Amino acid sequence: MTGKTRNIHFHEGSYITFKSFSTKKKQHLKIIELTDSSFLYFPYENQHSIFDLQEVKFKDIKKIYAGGKKEVLGMKGVSALGGAGVFLIAFDVLNQISKPSVKINSTIAIISASLIGVSYIINTLQHPVYRINNKHSLKLYHIENPKLHP
């Protein structure tokens, strides 16, 4: 994938996370083989027969998600900073449950909400989404490594 800001390279064996026009949901697949206009993948991890290969055409890809898939405390898109915010508010709520006379501290609630918000912003900046259009396009470059071929 090429664009104005940077190039993202995919090769056989690498994983790609994308959304297509047909499925309209995010898919995370391992590229098995690249062709001139598409790539091939196995639909299931445990099936590795040549007859099970499926194809995704480059023109069918709507968005590409750059970056890894990380989860903190079971929540996608939250970094350790956001996890700290969730921990603070959970600690404050548990403190109120164990001691009913203690009220939820508004300062801790504001700090934890700020931590969660900042973590989402940082995560969005670190893992951008590229819409395939005139600015960002998919291109296939035939790059051969001379060490791989005798």
pLDDT in tens, 83-96: 778 778 888 778 77
* Angle formed at CA 120 by CA 8 and CA 10, multiple of 5 degrees: 15
pLDDT score recorded for residue 38:
84
- pTM here is 0.56
User: Using H for helix, E for strand and C for coil, what is the string for 106-121?
Assistant: HHHHHHHHHHHHHHHH
Segment 37-79, tens digit of pLDDT: 888 888 776 666 666 788 888 888 888 887 655 544 445 555 6
Query: Measured between alpha carbons, how far is 106 from 108 in angstroms, rounded to an integer?
Result: 5
